[in-house]
Amino acid sequence: MNRYFDIKDSLYDIVKKYPETLSLFISIGFEDMKNEDKRKTLGKAISLETALSMKKINVVTFTDRLIEIIEDKKNIIDETLIQKSENKEADVRIDGVLPCPVRIPLIDSFNKWMDNEKDNLDIIVDYELKAASSGIDWLKESLEEADSEEGISDIFISAGFDLFFDKNLMGKFKSKDVFKDMTGFSRLNTDFDNEYMNIKDPDNQYSIIGVVPAVFLVNTEELNGRELPKSWEDILSEEFENRVSLPIGDFDLFNAILLNIHKRYGEDGVKRLGKSLLKSMHPSEMVKSHMKKMERPVVTIMPYFFTKMTKEGGPMVAVWPSDGAIISPIFLLTKKSKEKEIKPFVDFFASKQVGEILAHNGRFPSTHPEVDNLVPKDQKYMWLGWDYISENDIGEKIKICEKIFNESI
């Protein structure tokens, strides 16, 4: 029992009281909850306890995640989670979004570090670090309006290929050589610096402090004679047409998937990805009222973190793609012109302490060379690549991929 809900409460009651939790219920397979009428019928008939039992999902882990979402939305844990004074005279400005599972421990550590260093820093700091669930539109708006580096923050933390490479957003400052990698790592963690990949920016502009890997969660009860999918190629096969749930609402991760599929398989691959989408899972469509039985996804593609919610021995099996978990990088961008003032903050966000919070609390592998990411070394990652990024207009490429994808579903 917690102060927000009881496991005997119905899904309808929880979502009605905390609308921000709806996406999490949809992500674990209760896609009917998107439809308000069905929320009132199905949602009222199923308790949280029953729902998690049906899905073979760990109750403690899931309820902890629900609480994190609720507390992030309402900002009720600690008023210092966001310190946004709109102080025009601030010496250092920090903006960004943090993955929800690690936002609280990260900012708690940041606040403690700030308290310990306040005598040494002797500067005015203005920062806003929101939950990833709140989106990045507010960051995009500030970048669209800025016409010089003085108009943007000194430090940015977020995932997002479109945010950081679109020529109308961060890309226009990247081309002016505004940013510098100040982490000081000669080499990154061997998970990301090895014989098949290196995600360290060769231009020494962007820093990457961690990644969000996309993996498969397979409902073995729905395989119906199919082989367990082991690779992205398997997901794109005819066998899985209309049987895959994709993280469309998670723009950072979904864009990473689109771009990597396009790079590796071309337009045909993006079309096949669209065909794989379970139509009833798409946000723009409602469940067909005449369907006798709701089709359930065989495969749900989701951040690695969510696989912790499954019950051991249950029908939900996590699969790390054999050709690599597609990754959405967590970027740390820092202004070259403010190096003296911001270097202590870079040292904190790129520290082993922060790396372990990312890797151990959130299952977001860290690039810090001394962090054990708790991922077996034979499990690979799929990275878009700096050559591909420099050779393409990423913002435009995302729009092209989205068009191809949407026309194929």
Residues 207-221 pLDDT 10s: 999 999 999 999 999
Q: Do 141 and 67 share a domain, yes or no? A: no
Mean pLDDT over 138-151 rounds to 90
Q: In this structure, are 208 and 348 located in the same domain?
A: yes
> pTM for the full model?
0.83
Answer yes or no: is 45 within a domain.
yes
pLDDT surpasses 90 at 366 = yes
What CA–CA distance (Å, rounded) separates 381 from 261? 13
d(CA 357, CA 129): 16
Q: What does the mean pLDDT of the chain come to?
A: 87
Query: Given pLDDT bands bounded at 50, 70 and 90, which one contains residue 290?
Result: very low
Claim to verify: residue 85 and residue 197 sit in the same structural domain: yes
Bridge partners, 97 (sequence order): 130
DSSP 164-204: HH-TTTTHHHHTTT-B---S--SS--TTTBSSS-B-S-TTS
Q: Report the alpha-carbon distance of residue 99 to residue 120 in Å, rounded.
A: 29
d(CA 398, CA 83): 33
Instruction: Give the 3-state secondary structure percentages of the chain, helix then strand then coil, rounded to 5.
Output: 45, 15, 35
CATH of the domain at 128: 3.40.190.10
pLDDT computed for residue 1 by the predictor? 62
Domain assignment of residue 341, yes or no: yes
Domain-embedded: residue 287? no
59, 103: one domain: no
Where are the strands (E) in 17-111, listed by range? 92-98
* Residue 336 belongs to some domain of the structure: yes
Together in a domain, 102 and 208: yes
Together in a domain, 11 and 90? no
Mean per-residue pLDDT for 243-271? 93
Structural domain boundaries, residue 63: 1-74
Token pair of 153 as six digits = 């923050």
Give the domain CATH number at 53.
Answer: 1.10.3910.10
Q: What is the pLDDT of residues 193-205, one digit of tens each?
A: 999 999 999 999 9
Token pair of 274 as six digits: 């669209």
Q: What is the Cα–Cα distance from 287 to 35, expressed in whole angstroms?
A: 8
> Which tokens sit at 148?
């010089």
Q: How many domains does the chain have?
A: 2
Q: What is the pLDDT of residues 56-91, one digit of tens each?
A: 788 888 888 888 778 766 553 443 344 444 555 789
Residue 242 lies in a domain: no
